[in-house]
Each structure stands twice: as structure tokens, then as C-alpha cells.
Amino acid sequence: MQAFFIERYGQDTGRLGQVPEPQVQAHEVLVQVHASSVNLLDAKIAKGEFKLILPYHLPLVLGNDLAGVVLRVGTEVRRFKPGDEVYGRPPQARIGTFAERIAVAEAALALKPSNLDMEHAASVPLVGLTAWQVLVETAQLKPGQKVLIHAGSGGVGTFAIQLAKHLGAFVATTTSSANVEWVKALGADLVIDYTRQSFDSLLHGYDLVLNSLDSATLARSLKVLKPGGLLVSISGPPTADFAREQRLSWGLKQVMGLLSHGIRRKARQAGVHYRFVFMRASGEQLGELSRLIEAGAIQPVIDRSYPLASTAEALKYVAQGRAKGKVVIKL
């Protein structure tokens, strides 16, 4: 079958070629992929930034989101049948959605929202689960609380703004001048134009900050929080707690503890908490998101789409950080 893969980390931009058909295990579902989407995570994996904690075998088919149709199910699968339209984010050890077909664990899939086409459905899983696991699971965001969501026009940002508003929070976000009115239309109550304004001098007393940007922005975000507030980063640095959750080696636990020592120390000094969140696959949580999408509470945002043959170009565009919403791959 056709797939887009890399053969080495670093400068390899990937190529389209033939790969073996996936083998379907007892608890897996074989899906004909109709659409996928590109995440910054894909570009980082291709560069080798996660090879210590995600030891993939090369050549590696990239891709972390999918929407498609079930072709076949494993002997122990009970929730899906051939012909079902599904979407999901494969478990991190078995990625590879930039391909015509993929075998995915049953627990990582959900029925596709009935009001979305395949392309919009494929844009949801990774960013939707990230937003859910930060706002609902980790922060337990409550009505009336105040949250700052950095990079509001990006894939995670566009989804998180809508989810936070649905949860009843007051939402501030950062973006560039060209996107101010656009993110307001998504539901943001207060928009900081980072090209003209300093968010940490304007915002105070916030319960939560969701950071997806660099270490300088992470440190400045501490000033925004009230005592007892929570700073959550999805861009690092990872913590020893994360290493334990991932069952990484003792050595990597020590390394991650050192990497996050500075920001954790600054957080303690400010009287706030720091958490690193690395999204995990969950069909159950996708089911919750499906209900919100079908009720009209959240609308996925697509910037542009590419054919599978142009995946390298799509990865390059996403890596520039200028996408408004998600970038989709059509198969």
C-alpha cells in the first residue's frame, strides 16, 4: 500500500512509497484511511526530537490523526464492525496514519461525529484530546475560572478556546495582529496581540495557562497565574512524573527531572504548580468530544488540505507555525 515515511531522523523530508500491509491483532481494527491531519508533533518526530522516549523503528510511517472506514476487525473487537465510519489517534507506539490503511487499537477509536466530513473529523483527534486532557482531566476547569491559551489560532488553540468556553471559563489568548478578530469569533473573551502587547503585563489572577510555545513564554506565563494556579505545557520541558507515567528508564527520569528543574523551581517560588502533558490516545474521550461536536459546541477549523503525495510540503507548512487551525491530508 502507499504511505508517506521517513528512513532516517534529521534532514530526511520523507517520501511516498510502498510499505507492507498492516497486520491486525486481536484487539485492533483495520481502517481504510480517508483523511489524516498534520501536527507539529509529526515534524518533531521526523527530526528525531522524541527518539529517546518514543523509540520507533525506521523506516517510519508518520501521522497521528485519522478518519476513515472500518474494513476488518480483530477477533476480540466488540465496539466496531466493517463499514463503520471512525476517527482516532493511534497509540503513540503504533502511529502511521499517512497511509492508505492502518491497524488501530479498538480503545483508541470512536465513531466519527455524524455532522463532520472525513477531513474535518481527521483534524480533531490529537488537538481535541490534548485540549480535553489539559482542560478537563488535568486542570478540571470550572465555570467562572480564567484561562490563558497561548497560540489561539493554532490547531490546539482553536479547539481549546471553544472547549474552555463550553466549560464556562473566561478565555484569554495570544495571537498575531492578523488573527485577532478571527480568534474572537471562536469565542475568546480577551485577545492579546503579541506583536504589540505583552501578555504578562496585562493579565493577572488567572487559574490556568496552557502553553504550547517556547521556554521564554513558559517562564513569563508564571506572572499571569494567581497563587495556587496551574501552568500546563504541552511543549515541554517534560518532568520526572511524566517519565514515570511513560515507564521510562531510571536514567531518563533523572534527565527529565533536570530538564524541568528550572521551571518547577520558579513555579514553587511563585506559589503555583507546573505540569507537562503529553497527549495519549483515548476513544472514550473522543466519544465525549463527538457529542460536543454534534451538539454544535465545537467546530473544527481547517486551514488547508493537501493530497498524500504532497505530505512533505504540508509538514513544512505546519513547521512554520502559521497555520490557522489544522492542515489536512486527503487520501
**Do 96 and 62 contact (CB within 8 A), yes or no?**
yes
| Choices 1.10.645.10, 3.40.50.720, 3.40.50.970, 3.30.70.100: CATH for 126-276 | 3.40.50.720
**Do 90 and 104 contact (CB within 8 A), yes or no?**
yes
- Would you state the pLDDT for residue 236? 87
- Would you state the pLDDT for residue 55? 82
* pLDDT class of 245 with cuts at 50, 70, 90: confident
Q: How big is the CA angle at 97 (ends 96 and 100), to the nearest 5 degrees?
A: 110
- Would you state the pLDDT for residue 52? 80
Q: What is the mean pLDDT of residues 221-236?
A: 97
Q: How many CA atoms lie within 13 A of 268 on its CB side?
A: 5
- Would you state the pLDDT for residue 150? 97
**Which residue ranges make up each domain of the chain?**
2-124+301-330, 126-276
The tens digit of pLDDT for each residue in 104-155 reads 999 999 999 999 999 999 999 999 999 999 999 999 999 999 999 999 999 9
- Would you state the pLDDT for residue 130? 98
**Do 105 and 79 contact (CB within 8 A), yes or no?**
no
* pLDDT class of 247 with cuts at 50, 70, 90: confident
The tens digit of pLDDT for each residue in 27-43 reads 999 999 999 999 999 99
- Would you state the pLDDT for residue 330? 97
Q: How big is the CA angle at 131 (ends 280 and 133), to the nearest 5 degrees?
A: 45
The tens digit of pLDDT for each residue in 168-197 reads 999 999 999 999 999 999 999 999 999 999
Better pLDDT: 107 or 47: 107
Q: What is the mean pLDDT of residues 81-94?
A: 96
Q: Is the pLDDT of residue 211 over 90?
A: yes
Domain covering 2-124+301-330 assigned CATH 3.90.1180.10 in the classification = no
